[in-house]
Structures are given as structure tokens and as C-alpha cells.
Chain A
Amino acid sequence: MHPYNYYAPENINDALGLLEKFGSKARCLAGGTDILVQTRGGRFELDAIIDVKNIPELTKVEWTKDHLLVGSAVPCYVLYEDEKVTSQFPGIIDAASLIGGIQIQSRASLGGNLCNASPSADGICPLIVHNTICVIAGPKGSREISVDQFCVSPGKNVLDEGEFLVSLKIPLPNSGFGAAYERFIPRNEMDIAVAAVGSSVVVDGGKITNSKIALAAVGPTPIYAEKASEFLLGKDVSEDNLDQASQIAQDSCSPITDMRGDVEFRKHLIGVLTRRTLDLALERAGGN
């Protein structure tokens, strides 16, 4: 392994300075559950690992008037052991509580899961269906982008050299909002999704006034299923409409065949999981 130095800056500016100094020879370290494995495996030849866990903005969970701000290095357990987060955001907790085992959840963060940009990432679909905004720090100042624009291809994200993810800005749920995430794996725990779906709905008077469906492990990145989501807008909550949306999600994804499953199986899973997550999202919204 290429030996590297370790830095633990205590504020955003110092981290930016280090990223500028080392350029493509540096990576940020949050939980390390991906980056240390990749570095050890020779995917990068790094001169610097920048541990971002001493930067306050990246490690705090903060409630603002309109958002839940989750620092990009906040480990999963902090979220699922927080009663208020658990009660307000069960759709996020669905993912935070099934990424890896307990050891991994002690360290792994949703921000790191997002930056790693795996097509099968468990954390990303729930963030998409919650309309999450990514807060990014960079040499030219900070910028914000929608989470569904963050991943660009397997393992690649939208961050430019010198930039890093500071926090996830998740809008507080309005009344009638519900969300859920579910994946299919052949084991009970500790596995990578063969296919997975996150769904959210806003229900008002028996009608779906907003919906987002996102799919994982069936494309080069986790994807926002636009057609299926938009189909539900203004529709009544009915068996037929939910089945149709699930069918559209199933038809619109483009999985590959690999050791985890073939195209036909993955498409079938997307249909089933879309329906299941819509049902649970509706239940959580109090609309079913």
C-alpha cells in the first residue's frame, strides 16, 4: 500500500487548504468503511487522508426551522438512537439501521455512503425521496445541489477537486408526508442490495399530492424514478393506482445481470418493492 500522512483539521477552511495542497492525492475520511478498504486495495495512491470528524459542521445533527441538518460524517447509529430523528424520519432510519452490521453502523455515515456513489448504496434513495439538499464546501465558497444530481456514475460523484460534502439538509416533513425504504437481499443482514426502492408520498384528503420514488442497484447510480413518481400526482390512493406506479417503476429501470441477480429478477423486485414501500409510506403518512 502507498503510505500516506494523516491530517485531522478542526475547521472547514483548514480542510479546504489541505485538499488544495494535495489535490487528487487526498481523500476525506469519515467512517472509513469504504475509503480505507479502497485505499488498501490499491484503488488510489494517496499522499494524504483528511479525517473530517473534528470539524463541528460535519459531525452534528441540528434542527433548523425548515430542515434537519445532518453532518456528512455523522455515523448511522447517532441517527437511529435519536428518538426525535427516528419518529420524524422513519424512511431515513430504514436505511441507517440496515447498512452493514452494528460495527459498521458505529462508523459509517449517510454522507460517506453518498460520496462513495455506489449504485446499490442503501442511504441514497431515502435521501432522494426526502428531497435532500447537499451542502458542499469548496475553494470558491459553498454551494448546494439536490441529492438526485450528486452521483454521476458508479463510484463517481459531482464534487470537483478541492470540494467536500459538509452536510445533508433534509426538509422537515409536512403533515401528510410519509416515506419508506426497502431492499431485497438473499440473507437477513450484512449484504448488498440486489434491488432496492425508496418511496415518499404526501397525502391530502385521500389524494396523493406529491410522490417520489427512487431505485437502487438497477442503474449506474441510484435513480429518481420520474415517470412512476409523476404518475401518482393528483391520483386517489387506490390499489390500482399504486400497482400502476409500481409497474411503471419496474418498466423504466435498466438493471444489468450480474452475480447478484439477472435483469428479469431485478425488474420484478423493483415492482414488488415499489408497491411495498408505497404502502408503508402511505401508512406512515396516515393516509391508508
Chain B
Amino acid sequence: MANSKKVKKIQITTTINGQEMELLIPPYISLLETLREIVGITGTKEGCNDGNCGACTVTIDRRIVDSCLVLGAEIDGKNVETIEGMATPEGLHPLQQAFLEEAALQCGICTPGFLVASKNLLDKEPNPSEGRIRHWLAGNLCRCTGYDKIVKAVQKASENS
């Protein structure tokens, strides 16, 4: 990294899971790296690191994005929500509960991404059809479950909320 001396860290102010914070970050790292390595919250997972798998899904200003395809520098002034923002001290989010009850996970690496994406759908559309759920989650890949249990869990959470 011959020219790394020329690269200056930048300061950003952002809100992550409702908590405002100031961060000093290298300008070339992704939002995913910012969350995991600078903020120290590791619920957001790295899968493919190129925008195919959706394991790193978070929301920025209530829209889902692949955090590997966003620079940390871009969240200055923005509102980011991750998997860490889903459960409350009182208990799991209904989606998390439904994923457990329906066994909608095996290895679990894709689960935070599926949960964040599913929550975003149900926040916008409380009663989506099965087709809508499958379409919405097309940007999230799971190599274990075959998807049916995930879709069932989202349907269950939708009925229970």
C-alpha cells in the first residue's frame, strides 16, 4: 500500500440502531467493514462481498442495501439499522421468533440479512403474498434451507403482527 500515507481518515456523524455516533474511518472501507471493525457490531455478515448474496443486508434511511456495496463514508448524516437493532430487552422481534419456530435457518450465516430484509418488507407491507415475499428476498441467498421455511416464517410473522 505504497500510497496509504496520502489517504486520510475521515470523520462522519451517523445514527446506527438509534444511537448517534461520530466515527473516524478510512475513506475506502465499506459500510460492512465499518460496522464490524470500527463500530464493533458483528451481527451483519460478510458472504460474497460483491452484492450477490445479501448476507450483509442493512437498511439506510429505511431502504435495504448490501452493506458491502456502500462505503462507510456514505453514511454520514444517515440512519442505519442492523440486525442488532431488531430484538428489544423485552424479547425477540416477531420475525426472529417465527424463524426459530419454523426452523428457518441451519448454519445461520444468511439469517441476519434475511431478517433485516424481511422486517423491511413487513414494515412497508404488513401482509405480503408468498410471491411478493419470494420476490423481495431474491437478493438474499441461503445455501441450507431451500427457502421454503424462510418464506413460511415470514408469512407466520406477518399473520402474528
Inter-chain contact A37/B50, CB cutoff 8 Å: yes
Inter-chain contact B52/A40, CB cutoff 8 Å: no
Which residue of the partner chain A has the closest CB to B27?
Answer: A6
Inter-chain contact B27/A4, CB cutoff 8 Å: yes
A contacts with B: majority SS: loop
| Shortest distance from the beta carbon of A21 to any chain B beta carbon, whole Å | 13
> How far apart are the CA atoms of A2 and B7 in the complex, in Å?
10
| Shortest distance from the beta carbon of B14 to any chain A beta carbon, whole Å | 14
Q: Which of B30, B68, B74 has the most CB of A within 10 A?
A: B74
A3-B1 contact in complex given A40-B50, A103-B57, C-beta closer than 8 Å: yes
In the complex, whether A158 has a CB less than 8 A from a CB of chain B is no
Given B1, B6, B8, B136, which contacts A102 in the complex, CB threshold below 8 Å? B136
A77-B71 contact in complex given A101-B54, A189-B135, C-beta closer than 8 Å: no
A36-B52 contact in complex given A107-B69, A189-B138, C-beta closer than 8 Å: no
| Shortest distance from the beta carbon of B59 to any chain A beta carbon, whole Å | 9
> How far apart are the CA atoms of A3 and B74 in the complex, in Å?
16
Residues of A within 8 A of B51 (CB): 33, 37, 100, 103-104
Inter-chain contact B28/A4, CB cutoff 8 Å: yes
Q: What sequence of 0s and 1s flags, for each residue 46-84 of chain B, a beta carbon within 8 Å of any chain A beta carbon?
A: 000111101001001001111011110110000000000
Residues of A whose CB lies within 8 Å of any CB of B are 1-6, 8, 29, 31-33, 36-37, 40-41, 47, 49, 51, 53, 77, 100-104, 106-107, 188-190
Residues of B within 8 A of A37 (CB): 50-51, 69
Inter-chain contact A3/B71, CB cutoff 8 Å: no
Inter-chain contact B69/A5, CB cutoff 8 Å: no
Give 8 pairs: A residue, B residue, CB < 8 Å, sorted on A: A6-B28, A101-B140, A103-B57, A103-B66, A103-B117, A104-B66, A107-B65, A188-B138
Inter-chain contact A3/B26, CB cutoff 8 Å: yes
Residues of B within 8 A of A104 (CB): 51, 66, 69, 139
Given A5, A31, A100, A102, which contacts B7 in the complex, CB threshold below 8 Å? A5
Inter-chain contact A51/B57, CB cutoff 8 Å: no
- The 3 nearest A-B residue pairs measured at CB: A101-B139, A189-B138, A6-B27
In the complex, whether B4 has a CB less than 8 A from a CB of chain A is yes
A29-B71 contact in complex given A2-B3, A103-B65, A189-B135, C-beta closer than 8 Å: yes
